[in-house]
Structure 1
Amino acid sequence: MNPSPHPLLERAAEQERSGDWTAAADTYHAVYRAHVAARDVAGLLDVVVRLGHCCRRAGQHELAADLFGLALELAELHAAGDVASRALNGLGQLAQGRGDLDRAEAFFGAARARAERLSDPWLLGAAVQNLGIVANIRGELEKAADLYRTGLAHLQAAGTVGPQISVLNNLGMLHVDLGRLEPAEEYFDQALALSHALGDVVQAGIIHVNMVELFLARGELERARQSCDEGFEIFSRVNHALRKAEALKFYGIIYRESGKLHLAEIHLRQSIEIASLEEPLLEAEAQREMARVLRMQGRNRQALEALNRSHALFTSLQARPDLADIDQRVAELEVDFLSLVRFWGESIEAKDRYTLGHCARVADYACRIAERAGLTERDLVWFRMGAFLHDVGKTEVPEEILNKPGRLTDEERAIMERHTVVGDEMLAPVEFPWDIRPMVRSHHERWDGKGYPDRLAGEDIPRSARIMRIADVFDALTTARSYRAPLTPQQALDIMQDDIGSFDPELFEIFLELFPEFAPTAVEAAFASSD
């Protein structure tokens, strides 16, 4: 069933290509009324599907679903297989946008079956490329590439230019992900040429922003900036907020890589502000990039806050089936976390020349004890971060006190002991996924209640802090200090056993079991600290 052409359809298509969704919808409504008046069923079905896709692109998803559903019902009634295929594609795209990939695949498969029965290369190409998008989202990249290329061949056979742009763009992005940068650029260039020939401004903007990743992968920062400029200008003109936010994120990356950290921060904050209202995935990505910028500026606590927000967002997205690689992103983010806290821990040691490597060794000792004590693998990731940060409050202790060769005065000791409270306060704004702060505040508390800062005793002391204290004391005794030489592991053990009432007895038994494994590390550390 072929629809009767209407002179306003091309105007509506032009309005869509320019991003003027409201004007396009109004034009489609005018065409709809004309077909109703003329009792042109084929034309009516055609414009309902077109209007559905217009609403989908404009973000009016509920209205789009109603229109696609109506078109499908009427198409089945009037045996209009082509309209049914187009409506099914639209419903599949809506399901894909919601993250319901199984339902999306079912819709696209049904659209493909109808297209095959009609031997319609345009409809077949549209359905096959959409199946490629599902495979891509699921991480089945080679399968996606095959489907994209098959879909493109059908669309080229049909001579339809518009849909080819999307497939070429998808192929470009896919090849960037695969690290095949030369073919990626060829696909992007073809897509851009077709979008310019068709006058599709919105698609051109999308391609320009996607090409930024290609240029960043090559280290071509100026080309990346120019491509970002093109996309940002387009999305500012058509007032597409989320696409602008994506471009702003890339500006942040470009300026960071260029060493212009102030500009990077400004653009990332703008991206986060927009994305926080509409798209948690984009905000999570922008927060992670912000953390990297803040770290480069030495703003460690703020960097941790940004990483924490990113981690919380990525974790909340783990339930979305449209994000096949989200677990990998969370794992990579935790590597960023650990790298940052290790860096911060080392910055503490830079002030105290006698504690080089202390945080790393304490983290290793403590994690071995914690693992034997039953902490899960996931908890150990965050426990290790707390171990690296246990002395973060020492950044506020004057160096002359940290490095004083003799005994501290009562006033100096009070300043030193406050490092636990200061560290706790420094980390208060960071809502870690695992409770790190008790390790920082309470690692100098004693089982017998004679520790500091809160004089906690026994099981009132957080278990993580009890573990930390054993590791911290052992490393302190076996490395040089400004006021004494390092002790041997056995001498350190003897002192700790003489003070047995200060340690959790159950955890100390685990320490005794692990002592033979810790001793070689302690010997090596003692030698290094004596140089």
Structure 2
Amino acid sequence: MTRRPRDGVAEARRLAERGRTAARCGTPVEALGWFDRALAVLHAEPAGEMLADVLRWKGTAHRECGDTAAAERLYEESQVVAERIRYLAGAAHAANCRGIVAQRRGELADAEQLYARASALAEESGEAPLSVMVQRNLGIVGSIRGDWAVALERFEASRRTAEATGDDDGVARALNNMAIVHTKQERFDEAERMYERALELARKHGDAVSECVCEFNRTEMFIAARRLDDAEGACAIGLEIADRRGDRLRRAEGLKLLATIGRLRGDAASCDALLEEALALADTGEDQCLHAEVLRERARLLRSRGQLEQARKALRAARDQFVAVGARPEVRGVNRELAELQTAV
């Protein structure tokens, strides 16, 4: 009896699902291997929905490695395929992913336009999970700008929709984002409860990406509350996950936080090297907000050593980047620090 050849699209889907599991629970590099195998199978098939999806998933694996340019190319290719075959949900997802890239680069107006496009296509295609993501991403834009009420409203809407559809990942990410806003407002108890619930959901599903992000954001909260031992513990967990996954931008985040903890403890011996590496990683990954945050931390370190002119220079560079991004709360904060430095002897 002659064995029927395996259906190419079904085989590609099987390989791609292995890649998605690796991206969530393993490493982006492992995921890229599976996605490349899926694309090799699809090369012999007519362009279809699976091709658009795999290109996009591969782009996200690159994004999570900190390779923003490669991610952008794949998202654009995915969108071209999706639009050519009238795959509305795929085009919506690609537009959302391109918005994330624009947001990372500090191009918030472009990000909003892409999110609006994604939202319209998601509604047209009935793609409810994507609507959750878009609402959350628009909330992040609001949070960067300091529009706390708008941000919380969008995060809460995203959380409710995710809960109604049984989307634990969406719930965890919404709670994480809400906790960031509560931390900015110094509502630490509320933020901590949300982080604990988000981490519980991430660990339940083995989602290393969400766990890493939550641990670093929780570190920020502990630092703001001056709970430095707790901050160090959370940061160590986040860095272990980031390094295991090969996530260069999250490593940069962790190094910046370690430097902050060291400075606050008066143990700044290794802070210069930490910040130098963090700056290089943020620059390579094209993360403008993170790059500005590292510059600001460098300025604070310099100020703690009495190197006031160098501190002013670093703060001005950080302010310029925050202004370009439109991060109004950060601009106000840096201006306050600059004013303090003007009166320092």
User: What is the alpha-carbon distance in structure 2 between the residues aligned to residue 155 and residue 60 of structure 1?
Assistant: 29
User: What is the alpha-carbon distance in structure 2 between the residues aligned to residue 252 and residue 72 of structure 1?
Assistant: 40
Deviation at 1:146, TM superposition (A): 0.5
**Which amino acid is 1:100 matched to?**
E
- 2:306 is aligned with 1:316: no
User: What is the alpha-carbon distance in structure 2 between the residues aligned to residue 226 and residue 211 of structure 1?
Assistant: 10
User: What is the alpha-carbon distance in structure 1 between the residues aligned to residue 323 and residue 256 of structure 2?
Assistant: 24
Following superposition of structure 1 onto structure 2, how do residues 10-409 of structure 1 map, counting pairs within 5 Å? 10-18=17-25, 20-39=27-46, 41-258=48-265, 261=266, 263=267, 265-279=268-282, 280-294=291-305, 300=306, 303-341=307-345
User: What is the alpha-carbon distance in structure 1 between the residues aligned to residue 314 and residue 61 of structure 2?
Assistant: 33
User: What is the alpha-carbon distance in structure 1 between the residues aligned to residue 121 and residue 151 of structure 2?
Assistant: 21
**Which amino acid is 2:78 matched to?**
A
Q: Which moved more, 1:131-140 or 1:113-122?
A: 113-122
User: What is the alpha-carbon distance in structure 1 between the residues aligned to residue 281 and residue 340 of structure 2?
Assistant: 25
Deviation at 1:18, TM superposition (A): 4.7
User: What is the alpha-carbon distance in structure 1 between the residues aligned to residue 326 and residue 61 of structure 2?
Assistant: 23
After superposition, the Cα gap between the structure-2 partners of 1:222 and 1:319, relative to the gap in structure 1 and judged at 3 Å, is: closer
User: What is the alpha-carbon distance in structure 2 between the residues aligned to residue 240 and residue 76 of structure 1?
Assistant: 31
Aligned residues: 328
Q: Secondary structure at the match of 1:6?
A: helix
Contact 1:168–1:191 (CA under 8 A) maintained in structure 2? yes
Q: For residues 401-421 of structure 1, what are the alpha-carbon distances to aligned partners after superposition, in whole Å with 9 as ceiling and x for unaligned?
A: xxxxxxxxxxxxxxxxxxxxx
Q: For residues 258-281 of structure 1, what are the alpha-carbon distances to aligned partners after superposition, in whole Å with 9 as ceiling and x for unaligned?
A: 4xx2x3x12421222113324331
After superposition, the Cα gap between the structure-2 partners of 1:205 and 1:89, relative to the gap in structure 1 and judged at 3 Å, is: same
Q: For residues 418-474 of structure 1, what are the alpha-carbon distances to aligned partners after superposition, in whole Å with 9 as ceiling and x for unaligned?
A: xxxxxxxxxxxxxxxxxxxxxxxxxxxxxxxxxxxxxxxxxxxxxxxxxxxxxxxxx
User: What is the alpha-carbon distance in structure 1 between the residues aligned to residue 27 and residue 313 of structure 2?
Assistant: 35
Contact 2:16–2:35 (CA under 8 A) maintained in structure 1? yes
**Which amino acid is 2:327 matched to?**
L
Contact 1:19–1:202 (CA under 8 A) maintained in structure 2? no
User: What is the alpha-carbon distance in structure 1 between the residues aligned to residue 120 and residue 222 of structure 2?
Assistant: 39
Contact 1:139–1:325 (CA under 8 A) maintained in structure 2? yes
After superposition, the Cα gap between the structure-2 partners of 1:236 and 1:52, relative to the gap in structure 1 and judged at 3 Å, is: closer
Q: 2:288 matched to which residue of 1? A: none
After superposition, the Cα gap between the structure-2 partners of 1:333 and 1:183, relative to the gap in structure 1 and judged at 3 Å, is: same
User: What is the alpha-carbon distance in structure 2 between the residues aligned to residue 172 and residue 318 of structure 1?
Assistant: 22
Q: 1:344 matched to which residue of 2? A: none
After superposition, the Cα gap between the structure-2 partners of 1:75 and 1:310, relative to the gap in structure 1 and judged at 3 Å, is: same
Q: Secondary structure at the match of 2:328?
A: coil
After superposition, the Cα gap between the structure-2 partners of 1:315 and 1:138, relative to the gap in structure 1 and judged at 3 Å, is: closer
Deviation at 1:192, TM superposition (A): 0.9
After superposition, the Cα gap between the structure-2 partners of 1:267 and 1:250, relative to the gap in structure 1 and judged at 3 Å, is: farther
Contact 2:95–2:118 (CA under 8 A) maintained in structure 1? yes
Contact 1:248–1:267 (CA under 8 A) maintained in structure 2? no
Contact 2:199–2:214 (CA under 8 A) maintained in structure 1? yes
Instruction: Indicate the structure (1 or 2) with the bigger Cα radius of gyration.
Output: 1
User: What is the alpha-carbon distance in structure 2 between the residues aligned to residue 77 and residue 276 of structure 1?
Assistant: 40
Contact 2:27–2:244 (CA under 8 A) maintained in structure 1? no
Contact 2:256–2:278 (CA under 8 A) maintained in structure 1? no
Which of the pair is proportionally richer in helix? 2
**Which amino acid is 2:228 matched to?**
L
**Which amino acid is 1:309 matched to?**
K
Q: Secondary structure at the match of 1:68?
A: helix
Contact 1:55–1:64 (CA under 8 A) maintained in structure 2? yes
User: What is the alpha-carbon distance in structure 1 between the residues aligned to residue 302 and residue 25 of structure 2?
Assistant: 36
Unaligned runs of 5+ in 2: 1-8, 283-290
CA RMSD in angstroms, aligned pairs only: 2.4
Q: Secondary structure at the match of 2:13?
A: coil
Deviation at 1:93, TM superposition (A): 1.0
User: What is the alpha-carbon distance in structure 2 between the residues aligned to residue 305 and residue 15 of structure 1?
Assistant: 47
Deviation at 1:316, TM superposition (A): 3.3
